[in-house]
Amino acid sequence: MKNYPREERIDMIFTLGECHKNCLLASRVYAQKFPEINDPKPTVFKRLLHQFEESGSVNYKKPISRKSVTEDEENVFT
């Protein structure tokens, strides 16, 4: 998914609400409301809706980086 600015993601969520969570309709309505912006496809609305319902936020999740264990660290426990 393209990185949309926060304000645009908020507008997308409001549009989804107006369209009763219908992603296809929201995509079309959004394109009419904001003709100067490249209109996102319905799949973008679907992913954004899923993310919003799961986290309650329109912010992107930061990738979780895991620390790799080296042999020296493993030997500390033995």
Confidence grade of residue 58 (pLDDT, cut at 50, 70, 90): confident
pTM over 0.75: no
User: What pLDDT, on the 0 to 100 scale, is given for residue 34?
Assistant: 94
Please write the tens of the pLDDT for every residue from 5-37.
989 999 999 999 999 999 999 999 999 999 998
Identify the helix (H) or strand (E) that includes residue 18: helix 6-18
Can you tell me whether residue 57 is helix, strand or coil?
A: coil
Q: Taking the CA of residue 4 as centre, how many other CA atoms within 13 Å lie in the half-sphere pointing to its CB?
A: 20
